[in-house]
């Protein structure tokens, strides 16, 4: 029987009630020290009817921040904050993965210790500006990581994965998308290295595979997912042959037996910013043996079509979940959706965060 978005799904050891997943959504509402708080716990618990919640991107390192008030997973205080979130979600019967993140070059010296330069695979300055918390500033040219520093980066992901387990998560998702550090290593537009981490697709994929294998060492493959954005141009990203690059990395990742690959599709907004269609979950399905979670502007109808056609096994909804804490119920009943308040997406209080109404 062909599944639909309301069908149960087995994700490793987790028996999930539906395939309406909550996509990772940066909301910039962590407390001082990048510590999750009671308001964050309320927000996630409201959305516990998702088949799976994938948390907002969470930095594994003090050097991994690029936005104000985003959470971390590298201190004891952050673990205690996240315990409030996981406890609240589990009390409502939900499941939640933590997304492990390092922004790489998408940062600014204001976020770095002693005003240091952000790190990246290569010293390639991104176009655009970053909000420092006080003003918009041009991105700077990052510092290329030395070969000798890469083991420490891997160790930071391991530390974050270990603390995520301590904090009570059900698993972790490795953020390898959207122009952040691991994506920067993977794509040749940002990776100009000439050592064993640069050049060929196999070399550029090396860090992704090493981080994944190391995180599996903490969680087991059945509780690890990975996010990829093969057609994305966000954060000034590009690759000369994305089908080759992402086909290779997915083929190699398939050998690990991960819980899922979270592969985004190109949206109309992406295309308006220069992205091209033709490299997404549908095209990359032949390279991947396991579950595919897809995100990118889906509706109930297009999500069900993706499941019917077999190139997705679950659908992650972003903005619709932001504005509709009871999204699965609304989709099931074809009920009207709340309109999102874009002004409150990033930072603020409960307004536009925990005050969206539920169905009566």
At 164-188, the pLDDT tens digits run 999 999 999 999 999 999 999 999 9
pLDDT of 268 higher than 80: no
Q: Which CATH superfamily is domain 9-322 in?
A: Aldolase class I (3.20.20.70)
CA distances to 17, 57, 194 from 178, rounded to whole Å, are 28, 11, 23
Q: What is the pLDDT of residue 259?
A: 98
pLDDT higher for 296 or 1? Answer: 296
Q: Give me the half-sphere count of Cα atoms (radius 13 Å) on the Cβ side of residue 152.
A: 10
Give the C-alpha separation, 294 to 23, whole Å: 9
Side-chain half-sphere exposure of 134, counting CA atoms within 13 A: 3
The pLDDT of residue 239 is 95
pTM assigned to the model: 0.97
Q: What letters, b where the CB count within 10 A reaches 16 and e where it falls short, cover 81-103?
A: bbbbbbebbbeeebbbbbbbbbb
Domain boundaries, the chain: 9-322
Of 180, 197, 260, 356, the active-site residue reads 180
> 54: which strand partners?
97
* 315-329 pLDDT per residue, tens: 999 999 999 999 999
Strands 9-11 and 14-16: antiparallel
Residue ranges of alpha helices (H) inside 128-272 are 150-166, 181-186, 201-204, 206-219, 242-254, 268-272
- Whether 180 is a known active-site residue: answer yes
Least confident of 17-21, 175-179, 237-241, 265-269: 265-269
What is the model's pLDDT at position 133?
A: 87
Main-chain phi, psi angles of 350, to 5 degrees: -70, -20
């Amino acid at each position: 029987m062909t599944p639909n978005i309301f069908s149960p799904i087995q994700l490793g050891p987790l028996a999930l009630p539906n395939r309406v997943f909550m996509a990772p959504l940066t909301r910039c509402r962590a407390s001082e020290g990048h510590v999750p708080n009671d308001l964050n716990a309320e927000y996630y618990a409201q959305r516990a009817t998702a088949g799976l919640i994938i948390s907002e991107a969470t930095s594994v390192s003090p050097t991994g921040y690029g936005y104000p008030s985003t959470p971390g997973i590298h201190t004891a205080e952050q673990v205690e904050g996240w315990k409030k979130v996981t406890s609240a979600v589990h009390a409502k019967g939900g499941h939640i993965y933590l997304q492990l993140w390092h922004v790489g070059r998408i940062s600014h010296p204001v976020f770095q210790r002693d005003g240091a330069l952000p790190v990246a695979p290569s010293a390639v300055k991104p176009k655009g500006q970053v909000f420092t918390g006080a003003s918009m500033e041009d991105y700077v040219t990052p510092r290329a990581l030395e070969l000798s520093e890469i083991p420490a980066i891997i160790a930071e992901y391991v530390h974050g994965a270990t603390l995520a387990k301590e904090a009570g998560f059900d698993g972790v998702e490795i953020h390898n998308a959207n122009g952040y550090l691991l994506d920067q290593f993977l794509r040749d537009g940002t990776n100009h290295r000439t050592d064993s981490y640069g050049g060929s697709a196999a070399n550029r994929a090396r860090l992704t595979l090493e981080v994944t294998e190391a995180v599996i060492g903490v969680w087991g493959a059945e509780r690890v997912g990975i996010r990829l954005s093969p057609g994305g141009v966000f954060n000034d990203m590009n690759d000369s042959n994305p089908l080759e690059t992402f086909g290779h990395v997915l083929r190699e990742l398939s050998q690990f037996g991960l819980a899922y690959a979270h592969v985004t599709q190109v949206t109309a907004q992406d295309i308006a910013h220069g992205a091209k269609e033709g490299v997404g979950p549908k095209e990359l399905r032949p390279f991947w043996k396991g579950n595919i979670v897809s995100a990118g502007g889906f509706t109930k109808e297009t999500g069900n079509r993706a499941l019917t056609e077999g190139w997705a096994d679950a659908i992650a909804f972003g903005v619709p979940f932001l504005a509709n804490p009871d999204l699965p119920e609304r989709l099931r009943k074809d009920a009207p959706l709340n309109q999102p308040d874009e002004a409150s997406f990033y930072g603020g209080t409960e307004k536009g965060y925990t005050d969206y109404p539920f169905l009566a």
